[in-house]
Structure 1
Amino acid sequence: MTKTRSVRIDYFSDVLCIWAYVAQIRLDELRHAFNQQITLQHHFIPVFGHTEHRISEGWQDKGGFIGFGKHIHKVCVDFPHVEVHEALWCEQAPCSSAPAHQFLKAVQLLEQQGEISSECLSDCQDRTRFEETAWQLRLAFFRDNRRIDTRSELLAIAEEGGLPTAAIEELLDNGQAMAALMRDIELRDEYRIEGSPSYLLNEGRQKLYGNLGYRILEANVREVLDKADNQASWC
């Protein structure tokens, strides 16, 4: 019997990154096109770990948070499939993406422990419950301008999604979610991940970074799936 080949994609992103928000449609299409032939493993990295430093200081000569917000709106003109709140980054800007990342690692741990289903949800673009939660956080920030750097807002989103908030809080409080997040950062350094979003395939041999078109992602996945055993990928 011929064994069906599969490929693991380690996906590194920051929940506050506009390019990861834009890229969700490509992840959904990969899932739809390849189904059980791919496994997505999500990792979170602190590109926006300290927004005051990154934006207020980094964009000091370009308008600070307001200038950055205008930049995001300009970027999204070319991507009509996403929605951006008119006051994004201009009002109640988040201090850090880290609280949202820690929260998502808690949800991911619940999935790994079997506390929530790891099956894809047909009514959520075939995302798992964890992946749908990550998408809802991105929507909460970019579309609705919610403060996803606060525990109260994160738990409200969890409750809206029918997630076990008490179990999430326990993982946040006992250090397990933080440890999982720190491991993501260690993996970022081990694989020399440059930023968000980044895709790692073929046991680290293929690394893709940035606002890439779907066909580039598809070609790299097909190269891994189609190559013979022990043969180097051409990508």
Structure 2
Amino acid sequence: MISPPIRIHYFTDVLCVWAYLAQVRLDELIKHHASEIEISYHFMPIFGCTEHRIEDGWKDKGGYAGFGEHTHQVCKAYPYLALHQDVWKINAPKTSATSHLFIKAVQSLVGAGMINNEACADLQHRTLFEEFVWQVRLAFFQDAKDIGNMQVLKEIARTMQLPVAQIERAMDDGTALAALFRDIELRDEFRVEGSPTYILNEGRQKLYGNVGYRIIEANLHEILRQPKVEASWC
């Protein structure tokens, strides 16, 4: 009997640099364990209001410009990352929530079977949905585009030949907003503290922040090795 795949809840904010650099680890996890896991993607508003978080929160450290320098310092140790020299200094998004709403609209179309979401070699074995999320991140970190602007998101979708009219409909009728609020409810249910966070074993295992790939994989292996019925140690 084939066991069902292990569900991994993955929480991020698209403007979080730690989630940006963690993408390579997630890709590696999927590459080696695609048949054993199922990733549920959730989005949380760490950068729901960048004016409050950065302009006010970093007022004594240079505001947006200072946060941009901080982002470059973080990425220095990860030379594989493309980072725009003026990230956060130009076209700073007012919020990540616009991107998250748009992404949830795309995700809802996948769930309804309206978007073919098979993993594709041309997309480095990501699904179309996963690639869209990655392109949104790239648009900000690599190209310094304002991904809080709906027109920027629509342009990314058009470039990827996604059905923009149907995506807009999912936002207009509340489908995407309901899904986004469900993500926030799950964030609270799992007591997620920040981005990125992996939730495994229905909340029993939580990996938060800049966690190395081997640690993530070790936690997955522990679940894979567990017997289906195990006596309580209590």
Q: TM-score normalised by the shorter chain: which range applies?
A: over 0.9
Q: Distance in 1 between matches of 2:93 and 2:232?
A: 41
Partner of 2:202: 203
Deviation at 1:231, TM superposition (A): 2.9
Deviation at 1:125, TM superposition (A): 1.9
Q: Are the structure 2 counterparts of residues 156 and 61 from structure 1 closer, same or farther at C-alpha, using a change threshold of 3 Å?
A: same
Indicate yes or no: 2:175 matched with 1:161.
Answer: no
Secondary structure of 1:40 counterpart: strand
What letter is aligned with 1:163? L
Q: Distance in 2 between matches of 1:139 and 1:233?
A: 46
What letter is aligned with 1:105? K
List structure 1 runs of 4+ shifted beyond 6 angstroms. none
What letter is aligned with 1:111? V
Deviation at 1:233, TM superposition (A): 11
- The number of aligned residues is 233
Indicate yes or no: 2:30 matched with 1:31.
Answer: yes
Partner of 1:67: 66
- Is contact 1:108-1:130 (8 Å) kept? yes
Partner of 1:185: 184
Measured against aligned partners, the alpha-carbon deviations of 1:7-65 in whole angstroms (never above 9, x if no partner) come to: 11100000000000000000100011112111011000000000000001111111111
Partner of 2:129: 130
Q: Distance in 1 between matches of 2:12 and 2:118?
A: 22
Q: Distance in 2 between matches of 1:106 and 1:121?
A: 21
Q: Distance in 2 between matches of 1:8 and 1:70?
A: 36
Partner of 2:2: 3
Partner of 1:103: 102
Q: Distance in 2 between matches of 1:39 and 1:233?
A: 27
Q: Distance in 2 between matches of 1:87 and 1:57?
A: 19
Secondary structure of 2:98 counterpart: helix
Measured against aligned partners, the alpha-carbon deviations of 1:178-215 in whole angstroms (never above 9, x if no partner) come to: 11000000110111100000000011111110000000
Partner of 1:119: 118
Where structure 1 has 5 or more consecutive residues not aligned to the other structure, the ranges are none
Secondary structure of 1:200 counterpart: strand
Matches for 1:46-85 after TM superposition, within 5 Å: 46-85=45-84
Indicate yes or no: 2:18 matched with 1:19.
Answer: yes
* Percent of aligned pairs sharing the same letter: 54
Partner of 2:41: 42
Q: Distance in 1 between matches of 2:232 and 2:65?
A: 44
- Is contact 1:120-1:129 (8 Å) kept? yes
Where structure 2 has 5 or more consecutive residues not aligned to the other structure, the ranges are none
Deviation at 1:121, TM superposition (A): 1.3
Indicate yes or no: 2:141 matched with 1:147.
Answer: no
Q: Distance in 2 between matches of 1:71 and 1:137?
A: 21
Q: Distance in 2 between matches of 1:99 and 1:224?
A: 35
Q: Distance in 2 between matches of 1:220 and 1:132?
A: 25
Query: What is the root-mean-square deviation of aligned Cα atoms in Å?
Result: 1.4
Deviation at 1:3, TM superposition (A): 2.3
Q: Are the structure 2 counterparts of residues 45 and 233 from structure 1 closer, same or farther at C-alpha, using a change threshold of 3 Å?
A: farther
Q: Distance in 1 between matches of 2:4 and 2:223?
A: 9
